[in-house]
């Protein structure tokens, strides 16, 4: 009985892992949006309406199951209601409830299933990029709000001025302030539909100034967001790199300024899967930290796999420059590289690092000597 329960638990865990995988979510999302789109085409709806509805129901069932899996983690801590109030929980509710509710209320299927467009919000739940972008908006909120105020000032002043200049020549186009406001919106955003065009010389001059102001305004917004996103990305990378560097045993004795200096010297390298990073017998001139992904170290008696947060190749910094193992990536990986030349520069300015390296090198040499003696004794016996 216990074996059956264990087998069922393993099966349930496997199903949950498969359902929660990113690739599965993308496939279901793409199929659901494709089905929703096809259902709005009369010819396709008439020929494949039943199958399209079945497919959409299956997609909805998947997203419902995905929501249950996410909330189950909160159930163990008694915070299901708290989860439903988070952005991720709200997205789950919006992906599950609206379409069935519309169908129950008698809305036509081709209209009710338009709520499936909300499924694209699932892409934001596990994307670190969206979380990072949200933080940029929070950090740069004041600067963005200031530019928005400038935009609104230019918008209303331009619409009022155009209303005064063009209302007599084009009463059907600029005869009201709301109509002039529409012109100001499409001109400031540099859309320029051409449905409302000033005819007077002053009106055209004003239009040119408004277009220039629009370009400048959106340029400011773009610059603020780009700068903020780059700063946030640097901050995230610095924290990640600091965490990795501080875990190296022979670097733990360093003061924060030295670790910061080493952190700034690290360079990121993107490596595809099944790519050789280190080859046995080659001269080493750097060590590696695994920021993302996984590598395999070919050592006896069996290869060892290292994941995110691990490091390798540190012997090159300890004086043993000849690589003793092959290392290759098993998945697409992001590696942080610390070059030996940069490391020696830091070591020259920090005496405690030189002492730590010397002690670690002597310890490694002692361990290697004991292993060789043990190997000789085993061979002799």
Q: What is the 3-state secondary structure (H, E, C) of the chain?
A: CHHHHHHHHHHHHHHHHHHHCHHHHHHHHHHHHHHHHHHCCHHHHHHHHHHHHHHHHHHHHHHHHHHHHHHHHHHCCCCHHHHHCCHHHHHHHHHHCHHHHHHHCCCCHHHHHHHHHHHHHHHHCCCHHHHHHHHHHHHCHHHHHHHHHHHHHHHHHHHHHHHHHHCCCCHHHHCCHHHHHHHHHHHHCCCCCCCCCCCCHHHHHHHHHHHHHHHHHHHHHHHHHHHHHHHHHHHHHHHHHHHHHCCCHHHCCCCHHHHHHHHHHCEEEEECCCCEEECCCCECCEEEEEEECCEEEECCCCCEEECCCCEECHHHHCCCCECCCEEEECCCEEEEEEEHHHHHHHHHHCHHHHHHHHHHHHHHHHHHHHHHHHHHHHHHC
For the cut 50, the answer to whether the pLDDT of residue 265 exceeds it is yes
Residues of the chain with CATH 2.60.120.10: 249-378
The confidence score (pLDDT) of residue 267 equals 86
Q: How high is the mean pLDDT of the chain?
A: 81
Residues of the chain with CATH 1.20.120.540: 2-126
Residues 329-369: tens digit of each pLDDT: 998 888 888 888 888 887 777 777 667 666 766 665 566 56
Confidence band (pLDDT; 50, 70, 90) for 18? very low
pTM of the model: 0.61
Residues of the chain with CATH 1.10.287.70: 139-236
Choosing among 1.20.120.540, 3.30.365.10, 3.40.1360.10, 3.40.630.30, the CATH entry for 2-126 is 1.20.120.540
Highest mean pLDDT among 5-9, 84-88, 228-232, 311-315: 228-232
Q: Which of 119-133, 220-234, 291-305, 327-341 is predicted least confidently? A: 119-133
Report the topology of domain 139-236. Helix Hairpins (1.10.287)
Residues 110-127: tens digit of each pLDDT: 889 999 999 888 888 777
Q: Which CATH architecture has domain 249-378?
A: Sandwich (2.60)
Confidence band (pLDDT; 50, 70, 90) for 197? confident
The confidence score (pLDDT) of residue 4 equals 47
Of residues 337 and 246, the one with the higher pLDDT is: 337
């Amino acid at each position: 009985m216990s074996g059956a329960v264990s087998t069922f638990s393993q099966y349930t865990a496997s199903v949950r892992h498969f359902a929660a995988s990113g690739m599965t979510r993308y496939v279901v999302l793409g199929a659901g949006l494709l089905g929703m789109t096809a259902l709005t085409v009369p010819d396709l709806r008439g020929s494949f309406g039943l199958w399209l509805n079945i497919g959409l129901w299956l997609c909805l069932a998947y997203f419902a199951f995905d929501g249950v899996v996410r909330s189950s983690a909160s159930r163990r801590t008694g915070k299901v209601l708290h989860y439903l109030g988070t952005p991720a929980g709200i997205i789950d509710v919006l992906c599950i409830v609206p379409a069935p509710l519309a169908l129950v209320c008698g809305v036509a299927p081709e209209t009710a299933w338009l709520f499936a467009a909300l499924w694209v919000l699932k892409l934001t739940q596990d994307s670190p990029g969206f979380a990072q972008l949200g933080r940029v908006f929070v950090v740069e909120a004041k600067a963005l709000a200031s530019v928005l105020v400038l935009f609104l000032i230019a918008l209303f002043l331009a619409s009022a001025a155009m209303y005064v200049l063009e209302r007599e020549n084009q009463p059907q186009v600029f005869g009201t302030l709301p109509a002039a406001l529409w012109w100001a919106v499409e001109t400031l955003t540099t859309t320029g539909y051409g449905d409302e065009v000033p005819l007077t010389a002053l009106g055209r001059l004003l239009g040119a100034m408004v277009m220039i102001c629009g370009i400048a305004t959106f340029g400011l917004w773009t610059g603020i967001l780009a700068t903020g996103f780059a700063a946030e990305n640097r901050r995230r990378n610095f924290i990640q790199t600091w965490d990795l560097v501080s875990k190296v045993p022979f670097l733990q004795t360093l003061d924060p300024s030295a670790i910061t200096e080493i952190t700034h010297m690290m360079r990121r390298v993107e490596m595809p899967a099944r790519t050789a990073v280190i080859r046995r017998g080659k001269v080493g001139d750097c060590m590696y930290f695994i920021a993302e992904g996984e590598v395999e170290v070919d050592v006896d008696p069996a290869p060892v796999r290292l994941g995110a947060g691990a490091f390798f190749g540190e012997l090159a910094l300890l004086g043993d420059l000849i690589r003793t193992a092959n290392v290759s990536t098993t998945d697409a990986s992001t590696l942080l590289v610390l070059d030996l030349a940069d490391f020696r520069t830091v070591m020259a300015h920090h005496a405690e690092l030189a002492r730590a390296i010397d002690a670690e090198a002597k310890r490694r040499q002692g361990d290697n000597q004991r292993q060789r003696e043990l190997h000789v004794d085993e061979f002799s016996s």
